[in-house]
Amino acid sequence: MAQTLEGIRVLELGQLVAAPSAGRILADFGADVIKVEPLGGDPLRKWGNVSPSGSSWWWFMQSRNKRLIAVDLKNPTGQEIVRRLASQVDVVIENLRPGRLERWNLGYDQISAINPAIIYVSISGFGLTGPYRERPGFGNIAEAMGGVRYITGFADRPPVRTGVSLGDELAALQAVIGILLALHKRDHDPARRGDYVDVALTESVLSITEALIPEYVNAHIVQERTGNQLLRAAPSNTYPTRDNHWIAIGANSSGTFLLLVEAMGREDLLRDERFATNPGRVAHAGLLDDIIASWTSQYPLRELMDILTNAGVPAGPVMSAADIAADAQVQARGIIENVTGEGHEPVGMLGVVPRLARHPGHIRWAGGAIGQHTDEVLRDLVQASPENLEEWRSSGVIR
């Protein structure tokens, strides 16, 4: 069965998280993603815990379904090789420091001059314009300057991060959205003109902050940290259980609040005018959370889940990686897949999302060794001869 993006070729010039995550999503749905690494490899290969083969477990997932080539982009010959590759692809994705690719004659203007149909995606900290455009940027900076760090955590404690590279992953999603929009437009343009997609990490973070900016610019309300409480509806929080677990409960509509108090045997709360409306419940969320926590603390997690599920109250345990891997829903959906990695090493990783019924994505192979596909790609796309390959490799241009 043909995959959704089959026939689309992508050149990935990024490292670490944002651009490679965007490339992984495209590759999962059939795009031919050619990842260009430096000769020493993407630094992500050594981030976190590593497998017996020496690559990080994350690497196998992040670079899956991609053809891996290694080229020295600081070398003029390496730059020319990549320009020739760029003339044969539909999309370029990059997240290197602003201005670096332009100095190597690999920027949008240089590539679009030889390939007008190119869709060129630049992911940077602050975008291609404005006074911060040349600043280096990482996900943690974007999360701080995009507002998320300020509103995450408890009011009496410092701001905290979410535990994942949120800014980078959000930028990857915005990049994929931009690519799909540009592909659609290009393929309906008689001239088949491409586009330049400008993704800023800060703006990607800002895009999920909901009422943060509208409330300030219209009413001068500055949102503050409220811990695990949902700011604009209540009750919604995490609560302790008798067996030292935590459970998330979302009863923040009138209907679900009714179901919760019935499950608790506390219909009297419905007669309390403080809790009669959502604004009242929000105003007294701390008191309401204390009442709910006192009730949840009487039950072990499993029993509490049975009570709430049978009552129709949205609830779920706060789950670790071990809990997730053992969860019946996760297993039934097959979201964790086992793939053969380097040296036939079995590697477990998250499967493909989203799920398409007619044209689903697939994991065809796990990420592998540095330069695993260099010869294959250069033979196919730039008509490199065996002599070319030998010369480039011996001179340290490719690996």
| Amino acid of residue 250 | G
Q: Which two tokens stand for residue 102?
A: 């332009």
Residue with tokens 């003109």: 193
Q: From CA 98, how far away is CA 281, in angstroms rounded? A: 48
CA atoms in the 13 A half-sphere facing the CB of 131: 0
Q: Six-digit token pair at 160?
A: 């905290």
What does the block give as tokens for 60? 């196998």
Q: How far apart are CA 65 and CA 337, in angstroms?
A: 14
Q: Can 198 be counted among the known catalytic residues?
A: no
Can you tell me which residue has the tokens 């009730």?
295
Give phi and psi for 50, each to the nearest 5: -110, 155
**β partners of residue 167:** none
DSSP SS3 for 43: helix
Which of 88, 137, 84 lies closest to 106, judged by CA? 84
Amino acid code (one letter) for 60: F
Q: Name residue, tokens 């250069």.
A: 378
Task: Give me 117's structure tokens.
Answer: 């149909």
Q: Which of 72, 168, 198, 289 is catalytic?
A: 168
Name the burial class of residue 29, with classes exposed (0-12), middle (13-18) and buried (19+) by CB atoms within 10 angstroms of its CB.
buried
Residue type, 119: I
Return the sign of the alpha-carbon dihedral for residues 373, 379, 384, 387. Answer: positive
Residue type, 237: N
Q: Which residues are catalytic?
A: 168
